[in-house]
Amino acid sequence: MDIKLKHVYLLLFSGMLFLNGNYLYGKKMNSYKNLMPVPAKMSVSEGCFRLDSSFAVSVNRSYPRLDRAVGRTIQRLAGRTGLFLPQSFFNVQESQDSVNFKISVSDTAKIRFGINETYRLTVTDNQILLTAVTDIGAIRGLETFLQLLDSDEKGYFFPAVQITDAPRFPWRGLLIDACRHFMPPEVIKRNLDGMAAVKMNVLHWHLSEDQGFRVECKTFPKLHQKGSDGLYYTQTQIKEIIRYANDRGIRVIPEFDLPGHATSWLAAYPKLASAPGPYHIERGWGVKDPVFNPASEQTYTFLDAFFKEMSALFNDDYIHIGGDENNGKQWDANPEIQKFMKSKGFKDNHALQNYFNEQLLAILTRYHKKMIGWDEILHENMPKDIVLQSWRGKEAMIKAAQRGYRSLLSNGYYIDLIQPAFVHYLNDPLPEDSPLTAEQKKSILGGEATMWSELVSAENIDSRIWPRTAAIAERFWSPVSVRDVDDMYRRLEILSFHLEELGLSHKKNYEMMLRRLTGGGDITALKTLVDVLEPIKNYTRHRQRKLYSYTPLTRVVDAARPDAAVARNFRKRVAAFLKTGGKNHKMGAELETALTVWKNNYKCLEPIIAASPVLWEIEPMAQNVSRCAEIGLEALKRIRKGEKADAVWLNKSANIIQNAKKPCAQTELMILPAIEALREQVR
């Protein structure tokens, strides 16, 4: 079999070829079963609404934000179907009386915490109705409407459904760290579009860090001049991104991390530090010593002026102050700070940091802002209207709720750790066995996925965020009972396909990065390898090799994607085959074909690796794939014959598998559990 044909087979095998987003494993799916996030309530009727070029939309009156959203929806609908729709530039004044999609809204929402996002969507044979209390609720309903698009031999249609929907949690966020690696405005915008598609409503924008200060500050211009390497957002760009987000019903909350993670601040204004300068932007990762001086009034005068400007720039009610990972070394070594602590009766650095936070709280309150911070800021002196973001564990969040504090969960949603989607999906801010009372549960506002940027660039960040974050978005929106992992993965692939139309690059940049690795050559064999690899998990990569802000993020590990679908589906198919006792001949033949491709792939890849020095580091992994696939083939043959393997083969294969478990070039081989399962059957 030609290697390219074999590769196409692998794609088919892994369930990744779709037509109109509605085909899976060659079987037509009903589009209402593909919705993500799953609505709160839905019923399905007989019939459908047939779409043609006469399709038109009306809104009961003009809501500028909704009018723009309707225009975008019509354009996306036209793009998917190729239909020449008459309202590609929607104007409510030009709406026709005899339209077939009617939208009715009661009021315009102010983009702030707690807005009403409910909607009701009804599709019948001759009409579509969308009603909502606010324009934001209608915008959420428009995303559901687009997901319902289906097709058959007669053309495009929407199934007859009645949906009544509302979010489970009011705070459904994504943190994007633009500091460790700068993320240009277009990266932020396309991810806002992705967030809107899955009904997320908070962009947590991490804007200051040891490695960079990313906001133009007119009061203290040295912050962006000396703390950014020239990579920062102008205030004009920030206003445009806030407008762009608010147009999609998304709040923008800036984070200015204090008192630690502050090197970029102190590179500009070293007199604010707890130890003498000079300071320079950090190029490496990890917890650093530089920290603001909490004993100096100059610190608070500076921060008052700073937050006055930022409070005017960012329109959300909340500002995030960070507050995490202050190691306290500079405080311990500073005699003046120690004297200050003694005069105040502070027993430890936690008490001193609480004092610092209290001063920040007074500043933010003066400018009509509320404080949010990581769970380290919890202290009994803090008022109950602050919000705590739990990153160290659910225990901190539960403890805060029991004491009357409002909390968000991020522990378990660190998408930079490269965990599979199901790990995040089954992590619930309020599981059914939560120890909290009904009243305390109201203090759990939702959660945020966190995309820290040590190991991402503008070209691969989308692949680390999407599509896995859509599973997290469903956890925040849908009822707690929605927990079917297999169905989540099925719908996630369909949604991933649709996210591409919004400009997200999680799919297309993968092959581009592989082409660069081959010097523009054929990527078929390389893709066959990388499709079954994943970057190593958690923060292991930092321990294997020293990394910096200037480290190239263009290697195989940077192209390899989390939760590799080809490997995941192979593991699933092996498990299903073994459940049949190895008696399903069709499944066995499918597994044999896949294993044969992997066994032979090294021969195809060897000359490519030889000609591309950047690939030399991955050669041992390519060999491991071939050897492990051969083990799988031998085990498969014995399973079919009902034979057991001899001790010599078992020992040899065990050694090969054990060696293949070792990370190579910071990647790991994800078909190994399936290979081991096949081998186990012939022991």
Catalytic residues: 325
Question: Which residue has tokens 């990579």?
Answer: 231
List, in sequence order, every residue forming a beta bridge with 128; answer none if it has no partner. Answer: 101, 123
Q: At 218, is the secondary structure helix, strand, or coil?
A: coil
> What distance in Å separates the CA atoms of residue 460 and residue 505, rounded to the nearest whole number?
8
Nearest-5° angle of CA 465, CA 468, CA 472?
105
Amino acid, res. 128: I
Other CB atoms within a 10 A radius of the CB of residue 190 amount to 18
Name the token pair of 623: 């060999």
Please say whether the beta carbons of 477 and 517 come within 8 A: no
Q: Is the dihedral of CA 253, 117, 40, 102 positive or negative?
A: negative
- Name the pairing type of β-strands 23-24 and 57-59: unpaired
Six-digit token pair at 30? 């009903």
Q: Is 269 exposed, middle or buried (0-12, 13-18, 19+ CB in 10 A)?
A: buried
Closest CA to 107 of 145, 65, 162: 65
Strand partners, 206: 177, 255
Single-letter amino acid code for the residue at 542:
H
Task: Determine the Cα–Cα distance for residues 144 and 123; give it in Å rounded to an integer.
Answer: 12
∠ CA 444-396-198, rounded to 5°: 40
Residue 534 φ then ψ, to 5°: -135, 150
Closest CA to 103 of 124, 119, 114, 83: 119
**Half-sphere exposure of residue 576, counting CA atoms within 13 Å on the CB side?**
14
Parallel, antiparallel, or unpaired for β 119-123 and 128-134? antiparallel
The H-or-E segment that residue 47 falls in is: strand 41-50
Q: How far is CA 660 from the centre of its chain?
A: 29
Q: Token match 């005899």: residue?
A: 98
Cα separation, 630 vs 624, in Å, equals 10
Q: Is 2 helix (H, G, I), strand (E, B) or coil?
A: coil
Phi, psi of 295, rounded to the nearest 5 degrees: -95, -5
Three-point CA angle 175, 177, 182, nearest 5°: 145
Nearest by Cα to 117 from 125, 127, 107: 107
Residue 135's closest CA among 227, 61, 233, 235? 61
Measured between alpha carbons, how far is 120 from 133 in angstroms, rounded to an integer? 10
Backbone phi and psi for residue 187, each to the nearest 5 degrees, phi listed first: -65, -45
The strand pairing partners of 252, in sequence order, are 203
Tokens linked to 673: 């559990």
What would the two tokens of residue 446 be?
Answer: 């939702």
| Closest to 147 (Cα-Cα) out of 60, 42, 237 | 42
Q: CB of 3 within 8 A of CB of 127?
A: no
